[in-house]
């Protein structure tokens, strides 16, 4: 046999092209974009909603409605995704205008109803509590998300993530020690406590919604793309807006919005600016939250929400001159400790999962027959 005819059994293995990482790169880019949107919404939403309440706004159902009423904005990226899909799709394959199938549509409706209820609980709490206090209570959402993620999607925990959840829960609980010390003027102790309870209930409910969204993705009998995630978000927001619209009709909010705008302390024009930006900023929050769930997990989405707590605290003290008592300082320190613990654990886990380059290269050079026998 000639030397040129002899083939090295590893030649074909060595000639195989390296796998493309375009999908992974795109997913990381989407994760960064959604984290940015979530950051804008998470920090801006409580501030602009509180601005509405402290300057004369008092319609809780209307404030709840604003949290999801900006959903038509999502139609623009959905339209872009549809055009892109039609241009890149196989000409012989069916190009659907709407990707969502009936089971997923039903699940989105259920999630939308829960979101509408959560919006009301959150708005009620924010109408009674300072931003710094409500934000610290909302931080307890991570504990609820972790618990429900374990039950619904079998989320795996490390000692670091368990420590983070414990610290964040204790941090939020510290606020209850002297919860009435930062009660706004002209507000009874009963109203303040009710606001505290409603905010805690909002954190618990949203801590349930996030893992439920992740479970919906996993149980879906169709491929979940980011375009489909936006469709799910659109349906959820439309249903939540409808839920809050019923509350506004029962509470006669539509009849008094005009008068409330005229009597707004900052002026009628700024009232409409606050309303419009409230709808837009809240949409950033919701789309960013379920986008992070799609790109990573519900637990990471909750961690990102919680990790922005110090930013919201500082902004609230700066813009609204809110008090920052010792209890909030202790709670903030425990929260930061929890965040550091979580991310340190994630870094250690990622290093453990990263394969040794030499071992990976040696494995790739093994013939298929040897690989199958190993």
End-to-end Cα distance, the chain: 31
Question: Tokens for 205?
Answer: 């409910």
In angstroms, the CA 348 to CA 254 distance is 53
In angstroms, the CA 206 to CA 134 distance is 14
pLDDT of 112: 95
CB 105 within 8 A of CB 269: no
Q: Is the pLDDT of residue 79 over 70?
A: yes
- What pLDDT band is residue 68 in, cutting at 50, 70 and 90? very high
List the Cα angle 271/275/279 in 5-degree steps. 170
In angstroms, the CA 371 to CA 374 distance is 5
Of residues 147 and 115, more confidently modeled: 115
Question: Tokens for 76?
Answer: 């623009």
Cα 361–chain centre separation: 38
In angstroms, the CA 344 to CA 342 distance is 6
29-43, 66-80, 341-355: least confident range: 341-355
Question: Tokens for 230?
Answer: 């936006």
pLDDT in tens, 317-354: 788 877 777 777 787 788 778 778 877 877 777 677 65
In angstroms, the CA 288 to CA 303 distance is 13
In angstroms, the CA 6 to CA 241 distance is 71
In angstroms, the CA 39 to CA 281 distance is 10
How many Cα atoms occupy the beta-carbon half-sphere of 42 within 13 Å? 28
Reduced to 3 states (helix: H, G, I; strand: E, B; else coil), residue 14 is helix
Long-range own/partner contacts, residues 347-353 (CB < 8 A, 24 or more apart): 348/158, 348/160, 349/158
Q: Is the pLDDT of residue 105 over 60?
A: yes
Percent of the chain with pLDDT over 90: 31
pLDDT of 14: 41
Q: Is the pLDDT of residue 18 over 60?
A: no
In the chain, where the domains are located: 36-83+101-347
Task: Tally Cβ neighbours within 10 Å of residue 93.
Answer: 7
Q: Is the pLDDT of residue 371 over 50?
A: no
CB 181 within 8 A of CB 327: yes
- What pLDDT band is residue 240 in, cutting at 50, 70 and 90? very high
Best-predicted range by mean pLDDT (191-205, 298-312, 321-335): 191-205
- What pLDDT band is residue 16 in, cutting at 50, 70 and 90? very low
Question: Tokens for 252?
Answer: 């006669």
Of residues 14 and 156, more confidently modeled: 156
Cα 273–chain centre separation: 25
pLDDT of 92: 53
In angstroms, the CA 206 to CA 140 distance is 11
Q: Is the pLDDT of residue 8 over 60?
A: no
What is the dihedral sign for C-alpha 363, 356, 159, 310?
negative
**Is the pTM of the predicted complex or chain greater than 0.75?**
yes
């Amino acid at each position: 046999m000639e030397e040129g005819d002899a083939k090295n059994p590893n030649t074909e293995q060595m000639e195989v092209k390296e796998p493309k990482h375009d999908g992974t790169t795109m997913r990381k880019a989407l994760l960064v974009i959604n984290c940015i949107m979530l950051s804008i919404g998470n920090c801006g939403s409580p501030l602009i909603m509180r601005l509405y309440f402290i300057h004369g706004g008092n319609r809780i159902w209307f404030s709840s409605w604003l949290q999801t009423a900006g959903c038509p904005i999502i139609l623009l990226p959905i339209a872009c995704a549809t055009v892109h899909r039609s241009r890149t799709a196989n000409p012989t394959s069916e190009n659907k205008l709407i990707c969502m199938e009936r089971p997923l549509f039903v699940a989105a409706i259920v999630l939308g109803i829960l979101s509408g209820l959560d919006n009301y609980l959150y708005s009620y709490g924010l109408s009674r509590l300072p931003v710094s206090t409500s934000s610290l209570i909302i931080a307890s959402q991570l504990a609820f998300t972790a618990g429900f993620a374990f039950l619904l999607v079998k989320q795996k925990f490390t000692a670091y993530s368990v420590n983070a959840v414990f610290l964040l829960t204790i941090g939020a609980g510290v606020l209850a020690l002297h919860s009435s010390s930062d009660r706004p003027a002209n507000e009874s102790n009963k109203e303040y406590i009710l606001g505290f309870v409603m905010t805690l209930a909002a954190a618990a409910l949203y801590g349930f919604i996030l893992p439920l969204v992740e479970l919906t993705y996993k149980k879906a009998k169709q491929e979940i793309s980011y375009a489909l995630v936006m469709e799910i978000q659109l349906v959820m927001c439309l249903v939540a807006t409808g839920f809050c619209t019923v509350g506004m009709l029962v509470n006669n909010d539509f009849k008094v919005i005009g008068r409330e705008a005229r009597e707004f302390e900052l002026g009628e024009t700024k009232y409409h600016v606050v309303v419009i930006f409230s709808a837009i900023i809240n949409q950033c929050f919701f789309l960013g939250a379920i986008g992070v769930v799609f790109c990573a997990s519900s637990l990471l989405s909750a961690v990102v929400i919680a990790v922005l707590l110090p930013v919201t605290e500082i902004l609230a003290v700066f813009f609204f001159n809110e008090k920052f008592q010792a209890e909030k300082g202790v709670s903030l320190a425990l929260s930061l400790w929890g965040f550091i613990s979580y991310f340190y654990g994630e870094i250690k886990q990622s290093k453990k999962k990263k394969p040794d380059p030499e071992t990976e290269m040696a494995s790739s050079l093994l013939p298929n027959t040897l690989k199958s026998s190993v």
